[in-house]
């Protein structure tokens, strides 16, 4: 089977002009079929401040009200997505920017209103494999921002890690799928302040152990849960580390397998 790389980049990478430039060169140079999923960075927060749109919270959880959804759509689907696409085109990569609404590529279910009404937030329930495959078959590289839709006219704010896991899982039958979560650390570290404490390989048993030990905690937990869910859905391997891992062969990151 051919290999498909699904690569997710987060906000901190997007906010760093040098790092994103170097990442886009590496990404454009990948010869295999590939899909990019990007988070949002600081732009939405700074726009909300500049436009006096208060951050709505309930019990410390952010709510996506109408004004916040507008800002996210402008920042993620507009400025960030389109500039990534234009820059990739300039690097010879035929990129196409997408929300889940475009080509009906990802339909989400709005999140339950209980116990917390998160507003316009949804979790993917279907990925349009035929449409995305059509793009890949024609040498087009999909670039997704983490906005999906309900299929009935409403855009929905969606977790970018989840979008990446679900898009990758949807292609597990057609490709040998590799899911990459790029972030600002070398991978899962035993000691968060010591890069040399990198854990190179984690399987499900080790994961349960590291959770009990609290080596894996906080923000890393949802990323890991998405990763193991993807592996259970047939994804071949999940890789967590610095953006440079996508073209590096030194295995200096964390690889998850079942």
**Site of interaction with its own copies (CB under 8 A):** 47, 50-52, 70, 73-79, 81-83, 85-87, 89-91, 94-99, 101-104, 131, 134, 138, 140, 147, 149, 151-155
Which CB sits closer to its own copies, 51 or 58?
51
**What are the Cα distances from residue 162, in Å, to 4, 37, 187?**
17, 10, 18
CA distance to 121, 169, 246, 251, 255, per residue, from 189 (Å): 31, 26, 19, 14, 12
* Nearer Cβ to its own copies (155/189): 155
Closest CA to 106 of 46, 61, 170: 170
Least CB distance to its own copies at residue 38 (A): 14
Q: For its own copies, which is the closer residue by CB, 108 or 254?
A: 108
Residues 41, 35, 98, 57: is their CA dihedral positive or negative?
A: negative
Residue 174 token pair: 């057609």
Q: Which is nearer to its own copies, 45 or 154 (CB)?
A: 154
Q: Which is nearer to its own copies, 70 or 206 (CB)?
A: 70
Determine if residue 41 is labeled as part of a ligand binding site: yes
DSSP string, 49-85: HHTT-PPPEETTEE-B-HHHHHHHIIIIIIIIHHHHH
For residue 57, the minimal CB distance to its own copies (Å) is 23
Measured from the CB of residue 173, what is the shortest distance to its own copies in angstroms?
21
Residue closer to its own copies, measured from CB, 41 or 241? 41
Contact 158, 121 (CB under 8 A): yes
Residue 157 annotated as binding site = yes
Contact criterion met (CB below 8 Å) for 39 and 160: yes
62 is in an annotated binding site: yes
Residue 254 DSSP code: E
The encoded tokens of residue 103 equal 């080509």
Question: Least separation, in Å, of the C-beta of 51 and its own copies?
Answer: 5
Q: At its nearest, how many Å lie between its own copies and the CB of residue 151?
A: 6
CB of 186 to its own copies, least distance (A): 29
Q: What's the N-to-C CA distance of the chain in angstroms?
A: 19
Among the listed residues 25, 35, 52, 19, the one whose alpha carbon sits nearest the alpha carbon of residue 175: 35
Q: Is 252 annotated as a binding residue?
A: no
Question: Residues annotated in the binding site, as ranges?
Answer: 40-41, 62, 157
Annotated binding residues for substrate, written as ranges, equal 40-41, 62, 157
């Amino acid at each position: 089977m051919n290999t498909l790389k699904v690569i997710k980049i987060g906000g901190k990478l997007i906010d760093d002009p040098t790092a994103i430039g170097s990442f886009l060169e590496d990404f454009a140079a990948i010869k295999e079929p590939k899909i990019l999923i990007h988070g949002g960075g600081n732009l939405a927060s700074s726009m909300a401040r500049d436009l006096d749109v208060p951050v709505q919270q309930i019990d410390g959880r952010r709510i996506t009200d109408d004004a916040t959804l507008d800002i996210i759509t402008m920042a993620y689907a507009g400025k960030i997505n389109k500039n990534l696409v234009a820059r990739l085109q300039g690097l010879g990569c035929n990129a196409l920017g997408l929300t889940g609404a475009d080509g009906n590529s990802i339909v989400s279910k709005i999140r339950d209103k209980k116990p917390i009404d998160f507003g316009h937030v949804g979790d993917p329930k279907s990925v349009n494999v035929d449409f995305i495959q059509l793009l890949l078959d024609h040498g087009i590289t999909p670039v997704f921002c983490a906005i999906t839709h309900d299929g009935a006219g409403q855009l929905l704010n969606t977790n970018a890690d989840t979008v990446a896991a679900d898009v990758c899982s949807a292609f597990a039958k057609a490709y040998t799928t590799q899911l990459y979560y790029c972030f600002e650390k070398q991978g899962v570290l035993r000691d968060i302040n010591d890069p040399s404490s990198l854990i190179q390989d984690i399987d499900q048993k080790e994961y349960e152990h590291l959770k009990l030990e609290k080596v894996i905690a906080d923000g890393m937990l949802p990323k890991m849960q998405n990763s193991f869910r993807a592996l259970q859905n047939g994804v071949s391997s999940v890789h967590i580390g610095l953006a440079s891992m996508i073209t590096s062969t030194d295995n200096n990151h964390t690889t998850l397998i079942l």
